């Protein structure tokens, strides 16, 4: 099966079963349907068994949802079993509170439920300093929003009265005794509105100054939180990686025996050319997928997730590099898959295999003409079928390994180190 790994040695080809040929033993459609059902059901239950196995080790307590605003290092959530989301994200899976300036501080207790690691590094104490400032800023933001709405309304009224006052001046110039827009009331209303506008502008400037000072204080505390969270993320990562290793060990011990014994069983049946090889192949497929899942999930937590994130960020920065990589990925797919097909076709149409298959079917190895009427050459294409044996001098087929009279292998094949099994 792994002959392609052997260097310097010609592949051994069986004369009776040269490979890549139609078999006499064919599995009926009902059998294939049952095998597909067996594969799907087995994979489903095996996958669920691995998920349940991941619940045996104690899972590390997740960090509070507040921690992700101060993430300084790479923190990957465990791929072996998703960590339960913080309470904030359970209400609406499509709602991101980081874009809502008001929701953050209305329910601080339900949002920032710090775990033991955060408490050890003094995160709650620093957060208590930030919380009242954040609440005050939140209230000021709301007040500023109301002032801006009122100021916009007053300025709209001022613009409307200025327009009416201009029309009133035109009416006065034309000597209209009963104008539609008298200038006196309009002037009085304008004075009141301008005074109100100045008052609102003063309130706006005062609120913006106060909010600016609070922003500076909050940013200073956020800097402390960011520094304090560095060891928190490091410890949390260590706990996650240790948890993943324990899960990996349990799952590995469960899947490795299944994979190993199904693989050995498949090889044994394959060597015997057994009609039950397809059953072993289905079981081996399930075992291989489960075993591959265990390996990939563990490596994902170790470094693959970080590698993918770095690659994605790199792609976002350099568009031309991303284009070139995608282009070379296309070329690589041609090389990999096209090369695999080439190697397979090379084995399928190996001259020795082709000759053996066609001789067994009583056909010319060159043009596939029936050989019942042939002697030394094909009557259709003239291809030489037989040659003189180097030992006994009798006629022997060129494409077959041994002489049918003396049973000796061709000397040139022996000298070249090749061997064709009978």
400 falls within a domain: no
pLDDT category of residue 109 using cuts at 50, 70 and 90: very low
| Run of H or E including 13 | strand 13-14
Distance CA 121, CA 231 (A): 8
Contact by Cβ (8 Å): 121, 228: yes
The answer to whether residue 150 sits within a structural domain is: yes
Work out the average pLDDT over 406-415. 63
pLDDT at 72: 59
Listed ranges 177-191, 205-219, 317-331, 397-411; the one with the highest mean pLDDT? 205-219
What percent of the chain has a predicted confidence (pLDDT) above 70?
Answer: 75
Does a structural domain hold residue 374? Answer: no
What is the bridge-based pairing of β-strands 420-421 and 395-397? unpaired
pLDDT band at 64 (very low <50, low <70, confident <90, very high): confident
Q: pLDDT-derived band of residue 18, with 50, 70 and 90 as boundaries? A: low
Residue 206 within a domain: yes
Mean pLDDT (the chain, rounded):
76
Confidence band of 68 (pLDDT split at 50, 70, 90): confident
- Across 13-37, average pLDDT: 68
Q: Is 272 inside a domain boundary?
A: no
Structural domain contains residue 243: no
- CA torsion sign for 240, 246, 247, 248 is positive
In a domain, 8, yes or no: no
- Would 317 be classed as within a structural domain? no
Q: 291 burial class (0-12, 13-18, 19+ CB within 10 angstroms)?
A: buried
Q: In terms of residue numbers, what domain contains 153?
A: 87-228
Q: Most confidently modeled of 40-44, 82-86, 88-92? A: 40-44
On the question of pLDDT at 280 being above 70, the answer is yes
Query: What values do phi and psi take at 163, rounded to 5?
Result: -65, -45
Distance, in Å, from the CA atom of 251 to the CA atom of 144, rounded to the nearest integer, reads: 57
Query: Could you report the per-residue pLDDT of 351-394, keeping only the tens digit for each?
Result: 777 777 777 777 887 788 887 777 778 888 888 878 888 778 78
Cα separation of 131 and 320, whole Å? 45
Q: Supply the pLDDT for residue 398.
A: 77
Element (H, E) at 395: strand 395-397
pTM for the full predicted model: 0.53
- pLDDT of 65 > 90? The answer is no
Domain count, the chain: 1
């Amino acid at each position: 099966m792994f002959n392609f790994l052997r260097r310097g040695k010609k592949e051994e080809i069986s004369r009776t079963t040269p490979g890549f040929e139609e078999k006499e033993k064919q599995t009926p459609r009902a059998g294939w349907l049952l095998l597909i059902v067996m594969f799907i059901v087995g994979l489903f239950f095996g996958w669920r068994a691995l998920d349940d196995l991941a619940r045996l080790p104690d899972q590390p307590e997740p960090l509070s949802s507040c921690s992700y605003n101060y993430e300084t290092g790479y923190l990957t959530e465990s791929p072996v079993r998703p960590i339960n989301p913080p309470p904030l994200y359970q209400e609406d899976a499509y709602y991101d509170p980081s874009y809502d300036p008001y929701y953050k501080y209305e329910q601080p207790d339900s949002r920032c439920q710090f775990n033991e690691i955060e408490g050890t590094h003094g995160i709650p104490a620093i957060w208590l300093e930030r919380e009242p400032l954040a609440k005050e800023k939140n209230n000021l933001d709301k007040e500023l929003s109301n002032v801006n709405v009122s100021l916009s309304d007053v300025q709209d009224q001022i613009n409307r009265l200025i327009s009416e006052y201009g029309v009133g001046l035109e009416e006065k110039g034309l000597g209209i005794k009963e104008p539609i827009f008298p200038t006196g009331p309009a002037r009085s209303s304008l004075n009141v509105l301008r005074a109100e506008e100045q008052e609102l502008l003063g309130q706006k400037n005062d609120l913006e100054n106060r909010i600016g000072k609070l922003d500076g204080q909050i940013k200073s505390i956020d800097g402390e939180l960011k520094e304090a969270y560095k060891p928190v993320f490091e410890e949390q990562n260590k706990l996650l990686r240790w948890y993943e290793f324990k899960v990996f060990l349990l799952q590995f011990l469960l899947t490795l025996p299944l994979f190993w014994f199904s693989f050995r069983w498949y090889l044994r049946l394959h060597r015997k050319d057994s009609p039950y090889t397809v059953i072993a192949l289905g079981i081996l497929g399930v075992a291989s997928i489960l075993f591959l899942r265990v390996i990939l999930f563990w490596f994902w937590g170790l470094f693959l997730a970080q590698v993918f994130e770095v690659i994605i960020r790199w792609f976002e920065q350099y568009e031309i590099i991303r284009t070139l990589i995608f282009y070379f990925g296309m070329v690589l797919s041609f090389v990999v898959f096209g090369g695999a097909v080439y190697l397979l076709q090379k084995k399928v149409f190996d001259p020795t295999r082709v000759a053996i298959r066609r001789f067994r079917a009583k056909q010319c190895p060159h043009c596939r003409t029936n050989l019942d009427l042939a002697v030394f050459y094909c009557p259709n294409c003239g291809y030489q079928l037989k040659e003189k044996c180097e030992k006994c001098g009798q006629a022997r087929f060129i494409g077959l390994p041994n002489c049918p009279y003396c049973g000796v292998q061709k000397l040139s094949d022996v000298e070249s180190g090749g061997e064709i099994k009978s």
